[in-house]
Every structure is written in structure tokens, then in C-alpha cells.
Amino acid sequence: MENSPSDPRRVVVTGLGIVHGLGQSVDTFWASLLAGRCGIDRISRFDPSDLACQIGAEVRDWDPADHMDPKEVRRNDRYTHFGYVAARQAVKDAGLDMTKADPDRVGVVIGSGIGGMWTYESQLKVMAEKGARKVSPFTIPSLIGNICSGLVAIDLGARGPNFGVVSACATGTHALGEAAHMIRRGDADVMVAGGSEAAITPFAYAAFSSMKAMSTRNDDPAHACRPFDAQRDGFVMGEGAGVMVLESLEHARARGARIYAELAGYAATCDAFHITQPDPDGKGLSMAMRRALASAQVKPEDIDYINAHGTSTPYNDKFETLAIKRIFGDHARRLAISSTKSMTGHLLGAAGGIESVISVKSIQTGMLAPTINLEHPDPDCDLDYVPNAARAAKVRTVLSNNLGFGGQNASVVFRAI
């Protein structure tokens, strides 16, 4: 994806949507981040007592029927509820009037790393307790990972490109990047894109805990997720959705849309190293960042802020720091970097969607959300991670990273326009 200042197919962000425990709107969510609030607490949706990890960043005080047809609520999974509502927010924020748009030129790509886990678990229980004939006929369409995109398209009447992306924790960034590709090559004028996840379930927690990937700091939930801190002991799961409206610059200007920023660059690579562990040399992530910068036609020293993947796991934080140093050289020590997962938890396939919204808000507001709980500096993580308090800064160009199981890497560049 190449960019030129005169290219009418440049891709811009015109709408933002968020559903998260720290806020069910972008403004509330952003205010929570700048205040350094942590959305992590003991799990309330089920009894986690038998699990190694008993904490998470849940969306509480949430009734999807407040936002969508109760019939559709019953037919769809929690992850679809989140993505659908975030998409509606983003479309409203963009001022996109589908009665004036060409529906054949509007598409949707909303991904999920896990899909309908609540549906999967609940219907297996129905089958075990009541027999196969009692399994809901909506089970398959509810649990598969492309249905959120399909439901949003039905709601909008959008007949353009439509599918789901599944690439573990890189999903949301891949969805945005691939949607931008579609606009640039002329397949669509508008794309609604991002990620949604609702994997705070007993089975998902049991599975992740068996990998020893999750924090067990159950007695202190608000301080459990501590990216780049020497005492980090694993990630903490979150749930929710982050969705954007992307448009060609030409289309956005023609309809007088407010433009937040340009999605200027994107790249996807693979470590080809291990199914769960990132490459210890950071080569795959380094290549993704290098290619994203090249596609945006910006130099490393042009980047003002990095929203890091920063999962609070021993390997990821160390190797991501190494990759940043490799690409940015001396500029790495002048960069502001933060992991907002310290407050949001790790939203798996929705992480890239939410963190891209955060990146764009940083450009819009000139504020950087912090990495909270950074109390014991790790000698291997020795950069400026905006520790513990938000910071005002001049922010014109932002890089956001996301990595996923399977060695997936995705980097995206946003810049002021």
C-alpha cells in the first residue's frame, strides 16, 4: 500500500466506535484511559474459583437489547453484540448516511480471534444435559467468526466486500489493514472495520491458564497487568470491540466528513518460528514495522508514539522492545511508547481495533495514554513507556503493533491530515 499526497485513494478515518468495560462510548473510554483507570477486576459472569486466573476486564452493566433488536440478541453471540454496537457507533460518528451512499461501494471487515465462545460452551452443555435435538439451530451462525461482519452489513444494507479476519491477537489490525487495501485498489469507497471479542468464558480461561500464559495475581486485579515491568507474570484478558469507518480521502471530502487521521501504512508478516512464542530476535515484527513505515512513506524518526502490543508476558514485552530498537535506532529512546493493555486487558482479536482507536485519539487530542503499573523497571525493557500517568505531546504520526499466535505480526501507521 503506497501513498502519495495527491492520491485520491488515500484512506482516512472518519468514524470511531468502542465497547469496553472502561466505557461503552469512545469519549467515556478515552477519559478513563487518560485518568489511568484499570478495567480489570474479579470475573463476575461465572464462578472462577477453580481457575488459575480469576480476573479480567469485563463489559459490565451491559444489555445488548438496549442497542439492537432483542430477537437478534438471542440469535447472536456476545462477541457479535459488541462488534455490532461498536460499528453502529462508528457509522453514526462518521455521519454516514446510507440513503445517500452507494451500498455496493460500502463493505465490512470485522474480525474475531476466537469467535462465539459463549455459544460454543453453552450449546455443548445443552447437548450434554438435554441431548443433540435440543441444540439451537442458531449455534453455527452464532459462533462463526464472520457473522458480526454479516450482521453489520445487513443493518447498513452494505453490499460491498464483507468477511471476517481470524489471526489471533493480530486480527483487529489485519482487518483494518485489509479494509484499507480494498479502498486503495478501488473495491470500495467506505469500509467499516475492526475487531470484536468475548472470550471471558470458563473453557477459554481453563485453556489459556493451562498454557501458563495468564496472570495469577488474583488478589490484586488492578495491578495484575503490568507491561514492561520486571514483575509481570502474564496477560489478563479483556472483552469488547473497537471499530472504525475508513473511507477514501476523495469520498470523505466529497460528503464533507470530519476526518480524524489518515491510515497511511500497514504491513503483515509472520515469524515462521513457533506457534505461540514470538521470535526472540523480533525479526518478524521488525519487518512488519519497517514495511508499514515504507508503505506510509515515513521515516522512523517521523513516528511520535507507538501503541505497543505490550501484553505483560515475559517474552512479548522483551522481544517487542528489541524489535523497536532494531527499527528505530537512536530514535527509539526519544519515542513515547505505551501499552494500554495495562488498563484494558488483552482483547485478543479486538486488541488491534481498540488500540487503533486509541492511536487516532492520540493524534486528535495530543494526549498519550499511559502504561500503568510500571513500578519495577525491567533492564531488558528500557525505553519510555509513558509510565503511570497520561502525557500531553505533539502527536502527528503513530505506529500500532499487534502480534498473534501462529507468529502473526501486524503494524499500522496513522498520521494527521
Contacts of 254 (CB under 8 A, 6+ apart): none
Question: Domains in the chain and their CATH numbers?
Answer: 11-254 (3.40.47.10), 265-415 (3.40.47.10)
Pairing between strand 336-338 and 106-111? unpaired
88 band by pLDDT with thresholds 50, 70 and 90: very high
Integer Cα distance of 278 and 284 in angstroms: 9
Angle at 248 between CA 243 and CA 249, to 5 degrees: 110
Q: What is the pLDDT of residue 3?
A: 52
Q: What is the pLDDT of residues 348-399, one digit of tens each?
A: 999 999 999 999 999 999 999 999 999 999 999 999 999 999 999 999 999 9
Q: What is the pLDDT of residues 298-308, one digit of tens each?
A: 999 999 999 99
Integer Cα distance of 279 and 287 in angstroms: 12
Q: What is the pLDDT of residue 6?
A: 53
Beta-carbon count within 10 A of 95 CB:
13
| Active-site option among 38, 148, 169, 381 | 169
Contact of 17 with 169, CB cutoff 8 Å: no
Q: What is the pLDDT of residues 208-257, one digit of tens each?
A: 999 999 999 999 999 999 999 999 999 999 999 999 999 999 999 999 99
Per cent of the chain over pLDDT 90 is 96
User: Exposed e or buried b for every residue in 108-142, given b needs 16+ CB within 10 A?
Assistant: bbbbbbbbbbbbbbbbeebeeeeeeeeeeebbebb
Q: What is the pTM of this model?
A: 0.96
Q: Across the chain, what does the average pLDDT equal?
A: 96
The conformational region for residue 15 under phi > 0 = left, psi -120 to 50 = alpha, else beta, is beta
309 included as an active-site residue: yes
Q: Where are the alpha helices (DSSP H) in 255-296?
A: 283-296
Q: What is the pLDDT of residue 281?
A: 86
Q: Give the mean pLDDT of 169-189.
A: 97
- For residue 411, give the C-alpha cell: 503494524
CA atoms in the 13 A half-sphere facing the CB of 86? 40
Q: How many residues does the chain have?
A: 417
Integer Cα distance of 355 and 29 in angstroms: 12
Specify burial of residue 187 (Cβ count, 10 A radius: 0-12, 13-18, 19+).
middle
Integer Cα distance of 284 and 403 in angstroms: 10
Q: What is the pLDDT of residues 263-294, one digit of tens each?
A: 999 999 999 999 988 888 889 999 999 999 99
> How far apart, in Å, are the Cα atoms of 341 and each of 62, 93, 100, 193?
21, 25, 38, 20
Q: What is the pLDDT of residues 37-72, one digit of tens each?
A: 999 999 999 999 999 999 999 999 999 999 999 999
Integer Cα distance of 42 and 84 in angstroms: 26
Q: What is the pLDDT of residue 5?
A: 52
Rg for the chain, CA atoms, rounded: 20
State phi, psi for 81 to the nearest 5 degrees: -55, -50
Integer Cα distance of 107 and 178 in angstroms: 11
- Helix pair angle (283-296, 314-328), 10° resolution: 50
